[in-house]
Amino acid sequence: MVAMMVAALSSFWLTSHLDWFMGYGPIHLLSIWVIICVVISVSAIRCGNIRRHRGFAVGAYLGTLGAAVGALAMPGRLLYTYFFT
């Protein structure tokens, strides 16, 4: 959870070439989703709600994977040039 939080928070210091709002793009929406999922997941496990914790932990994981795939699939990004050119 800490690693996902660090990755999601650190994405806000990176700007996107798809400028939706002040340099932020669609990948930043996934970062917001990951932050929300991690907070809810941790609070759910502290309350003993294992089912809710599991659901939001999986949501945070899938959001992190979505951000990675999004970074890879966007033309103009460094990872895109490494893999597709």
Residue with the larger pLDDT of the pair 77 and 50? 50
Which pLDDT belongs to residue 4? 83
Domain spans in the chain, listed from the N-terminal domain onward: 24-84
Tell me the residue type at 66: G
- Sequential DSSP letters for 14-61: S--SS-SBTTB-HHHHHHHHHHHHHHHHHHHHHTT-HHHHHHHHHHHH
pLDDT digits (tens, 9 = 90+) for 2-48: 988 898 888 888 766 666 566 676 777 888 888 998 999 999 999 99
Report pTM: 0.70
